[in-house]
Amino acid sequence: AQTVTQSQPEMSVQEAETVTLSCTYDTSESDYYLFWYKQPPSRQMILVIRQEAYKQQNATENRFSVNFQKAAKSFSLKISDSQLGDAAMYFCAYRSKRSYGGATNKLIFGTGTLLAVQP
């Protein structure tokens, strides 16, 4: 079974600075998706960025980028030029690409990192 671990329950960053959130995962599969989701107090889960395991190039989306280390099973999120609106809970998630055997392709989440942005 796959597992996702986020070892930083809380992080804090100054506005305009850069912060990195850590995530490790465990799987025996060779191809899969990894995601970072943002959950503000409104509870709406918003996709921040995704990475396909077979792609060696790290994904980027504006101020958000990842450091994907497949061999180490590590998937960290870097937020550059942090803004007050970035304050939220961030979840790392795994999804299998396997579609045979009735696989559901459900998301498997870590326990989250609460990010505070200081003005």
Partner 1 sequence: GAGVSQSPRYKVAKRGQDVALRCDPISGHVSLFWYQQALGQGPEFLTYFQNEAQLDKSGLPSDRFFAERPEGSVSTLKIQRTQQEDSAVYLCASSLALTGYNEQFFGPGTRLTVL
What's the min distance (Å) between Cβ of 79 and partner 1?
19
- Taking alpha carbons only, the member of 104, 25, 29 closest to residue 66 is 25
Q: Which residues contact residue 114 at a Cβ distance below 8 angstroms, ignoring those fewer than 6 apart? A: 9, 10, 11, 88, 89, 90
Structure tokens at 56: 């060696």
Using CB under 8 A as the binding rule, the residues of this chain from 37 to 56 that contact partner 1 are 42-47, 50, 52
Stretch that binds partner 1, among 22-30, 55-63, 66-74, 108-116 (CB under 8 A): 108-116
Task: Using CB under 8 A, pick the residue from 85, 101, 102, 119 that binds partner 1.
Answer: 102
Cβ-contact 4, 95 below 8 angstroms: no
Told to check if 32 binds partner 1 by CB under 8 A, we report no
Q: Which residues contact residue 46 at a Cβ distance below 8 angstroms, ignoring those fewer than 6 apart? A: 37, 38, 39, 40
What's the min distance (Å) between Cβ of 9 and partner 1?
8
Stretch that binds partner 1, among 23-31, 59-67, 68-76, 96-104 (CB under 8 A): 96-104
7/18 with CB nearer partner 1? 7
Q: How far apart are CA 65 and CA 20, in angstroms?
A: 9
Which stretches of the chain bind partner 1, using CB under 8 A? Answer: 4, 6, 33, 42-47, 50, 52, 91, 93, 99, 102, 104-112
